[in-house]
Every structure is written in C-alpha cells, then in structure tokens.
Amino acid sequence: MPVPPLEKKNSAAGCAPRDFRMTSFDWRIGNEVIPFYMGSDCAADVAQKLAAMNADRFFIVADEAIWKMHGAPYERAVGAVAPTAFMPYGGGEAGKTLAAIEQLAAKLIDSGISRRSVLVAMGGGVIGNITGLTASLLFRGIRFVQLPTTLLAMHDSVTSLKQGVNCNGGKNILGTFHAPSSVFIDLRFLSTLPAQQIRGGLIELVKNALILGGDYARQVTESLTAFRADPKSHDWAALVNLGLTAKRTLVQDDPRERGHAMILEYGHTIGHALELAYVGQLSHGEAIAWGMRCAAWISHRLGYMTDSALAVHDRYLALLDFPPKPNGPFKLGELRARLQRDNKRGYLPPGNEGMVAMILLNEPGVVLNGTNPYPLTLVPRDVVDEALDHLAREWQSHVATGLAPDEAGFAR
C-alpha cells in the first residue's frame, strides 16, 4: 500500500509576533479536522496556539512524575495566557476507571471549571484517555488538547477519537468519541521516556507493518533496523511520522474505527487481556507483541497462515527482540476470564457465542476477511484456549535475556 506523505502547511503562517518553530499539518478523521503540531522544546509555541482558544482557564492533567520532569515550562507559558492549574492523576492503567473520571471531574468543579475552560492531557495514552473522557462528559462536552509524552501516544492514541476507561476487568469498555481541539507533539518529552515505553511505541509500528505490508512494511523494517544499529542518533520525528502515516491511511474514512480501521486492533484481543493481567509489568505495546504472537499462532493452527508466512511474521516481531516475560506465573485463569470481556463481542452475529472475534492475518500484509465490513474472523473458544496453553509453555520456556531493556538494545 503506498504511503501518502503528510501534508505540511506553512507552520509560521499567522503566528506573529515570534517565530513559530513547530511544523503543522491537518489530521482529517471523518468530519473532524484536527490541527497537529510537532516540534521540540516548544512550550512557548504551544501556549501561543492555546491563546487563540480564548479559554477562561487551563487545567493540565498529568501524573506527578511527568509534571516534575516537564511541567515547569508549560505551567509558565500556558499560565501567561490564562490561569492554569495542575490536576494530578496518579492511577496509571490500573486506575483507568470511571471512578477516576468522577474524582477528576469533582476536583475540576471545585477548582472553578466552566464551559470555556480547556483540559490539557499531558501524558501517555492513559492520561489522554482519562482527560478525553472527562472532557467529553463535563457539561456534555468541553474542549481538550493532547500533549502526548510517550512515543505510543504521539503516533497512536492521540490520533483517535476514542476515549475510554476499563470496567469490571474489560479494557476500554466505557467510553465516548470526542475529538481533541488540537494535538501538540513535543519530541523533547522523549528524552526522559524509559526504554520499556520506547519499545512499546515501536512495537505498534511493527503491528502497522504486519497489517499494511508492502512499502510501509519496508519503511518500518528499514527504520527499526537503523534504530537498532544506532539507537543514539535517530530521527524521532521520522518514527512518529511513520506511525501517523499508518493511522491516517486507516482512520480518516473510518473515524469510529468500526470498519476497516479495526485492523489496527491486530494483536489486541489477547494483548489487552495480558496488559490488564500484568499491569505495571508489561507496557501496552509489549502486551500487544505477545497478542500478535498468539494471533499468528491461531491463524496457523486454523490453516490460514502457512509455515513460511508464520516464519516471516516471527521475523517482524524479532525486529525489536521479544519483550521479556513478566515475573511470576502465567495467569491462565485470569486471561480466560478477561477474554470473555473483550470489547469486540458485539460484532459477533447471533448464534456464535462460543466464538471469539479476532483480527487474523493470512500472511504479513494480508488481513483475513480484510475486505469485509468487519475484518474479523470467528475463532472457536477452544482454539483460543489452545493458544493460551501454547503461550503458557512459551512463557515458561522463554529465555529472558537477563538484561535491562537498555542493555538489550533499546537505549536512546
């Protein structure tokens, strides 16, 4: 699939009185056109753009660690535009629930939020989801902007209208669609991002390569090979753009990700169950890597994927080494229970209750049922159980390198 270049607008247009150093482009998703900006060390530029929102207050939602590392220049620059307050959220993935939304909303109301206020999500995908969902519910919808701080958020979660939280053991079960007013990608944040989170963001690029194939897969392979060869001198903007390009290809005409864009969920059925079962141990991307491994095994087991296609699939996963397994035993029972709550269940036609709806590949670049309205394949539950048994064996025998991720080649 050819990869369309990102359209660049004249970033300096209308930005007097000072030079504007961020590049900008429009992100079209359905009927929404969201301005995206990218630069490095750009609190002043972000504040300049936020000034045009005519907000009565800004509330920056972040976790304490990010706020300590990166909050000060933003607090200063945005605070010069309108009163600005830090709203801490420290719950991580485990706390991504409706209770957290209610708590945050209550604090915002106590702090004087109005319909003219703007929420700023300064963090990874968790903060983005928490802030986006809160913004969509407060006064039935107020404005929010995304200031992503992880690689995954920069090229993946901020491009989506989906805002959601976990519920009763299921990932992203409660949610809405709500577009950010703009997205500001400050690459400076990546200077402090731990290696495990870098790996998580890069794994989503491998996923994109596996679902799109062709020229896109070649670009990902080249970029990641170069990254591995020389992790210290690489081009973050190029890596972020590579992720954005894949998302753009898929979501612009499927803004709710309920049709062909659903293929972005490759690896997510079992991956989401793993992410929640090993919260704090596996990053989102690492859980998806294990999920892709299982999806390929299932496709092979059902006869859709040949031996040689499976080998090619493995080679893609090997582009980044395989994530180390988390400590502790394999949580088979918990994973089975979590899979019962997968959020793709509603797509099953009646009479298929014993099946699990999954995105599967025939081979890298070829999605099974990829041209159907729903690119899903129904997998008998006992085959999913077999895949989990297989994963359990691989898990036990997986030879952890014994190296910290940095030493294993993910150093910045």
Ligand X SMILES: NC(=O)c1ccc[n+]([C@@H]2O[C@H](COP(=O)([O-])OP(=O)(O)OC[C@H]3O[C@@H](n4cnc5c(N)ncnc54)[C@H](O)[C@@H]3O)[C@@H](O)[C@H]2O)c1
Q: What's the closest the beta carbon of residue 183 comes to ligand X, in angstroms?
A: 12
Residue 392 CA to residue 270 CA, distance in Å, equals 13
Residue 127 CA to residue 111 CA, distance in Å, equals 19
Which member of 136, 157, 219, 241 binds ligand X (CB under 6 A)? 157
Residue 339 CA to residue 341 CA, distance in Å, equals 5
Q: What's the closest the beta carbon of residue 129 comes to ligand X, in angstroms?
A: 6
CB-wise, 194 or 409, nearer to ligand X? 194
Q: Applying CB under 6 A, does 323 fall inside the site for ligand X?
A: no
Phi-psi region of 30 (alpha: psi -120 to 50; beta: other; left: phi over 0): left
- Residues in 234-293 that interact with ligand X by CB under 6 A: 283-284
Which member of 40, 97, 172, 221 binds ligand X (CB under 6 A)? 172
CA torsion sign, 139 to 141 to 143 to 144? positive
CB-wise, 152 or 244, nearer to ligand X? 152
| SS3 of the chain: helix, strand, coil, percent, to 5 | 50, 15, 35
- CA nearest 153: which of 73, 247, 218, 216? 247
Q: Which two tokens stand for residue 221?
A: 């392979």
Q: Applying CB under 6 A, does 48 fall inside the site for ligand X?
A: no
Q: Is the CB of residue 3 less than 8 Å from the CB of residue 249? A: yes
Q: Applying CB under 6 A, does 208 fall inside the site for ligand X?
A: no
CB-wise, 8 or 68, nearer to ligand X? 68
* Sole window of 61-69, 227-235, 248-256, 303-311 interacting with ligand X (rule: CB under 6 A): 61-69
Q: What's the closest the beta carbon of residue 395 comes to ligand X, in angstroms?
A: 22
- Residues in 79-138 that interact with ligand X by CB under 6 A: 92-93, 96, 123-127, 129
Residue 303 CA to residue 54 CA, distance in Å, equals 58
Q: What's the closest the beta carbon of residue 245 comes to ligand X, in angstroms?
A: 16
CB-wise, 83 or 194, nearer to ligand X? 194
Q: Applying CB under 6 A, does 152 fall inside the site for ligand X?
A: yes
Is 96 labeled as catalytic in the residue annotation?
Answer: no
Is 162 labeled as catalytic in the residue annotation?
Answer: yes
Q: Which residues of 86-125 are buried (b: 16+ CB within 10 A; e: fewer)?
A: bbebebebebbbeebbeebbebbeeeebeeebbbbbbbbb
CB-wise, 103 or 172, nearer to ligand X? 172
List 204, 257, 265, 286, catalytic entry: 265
Apex 302 CA angle, 299 and 306, nearest 5 = 60
Which member of 10, 192, 352, 372 binds ligand X (CB under 6 A)? 192
Cite the DSSP H helix spans in 96-155: 98-110, 125-137, 151-155
Active site residues: 162, 265
| Binding interface with ligand X (CB under 6 A) | 63, 65-66, 69, 92-93, 96, 123-127, 129, 149-150, 152-153, 156-157, 160, 162, 172, 189, 192-194, 197, 200, 283-284
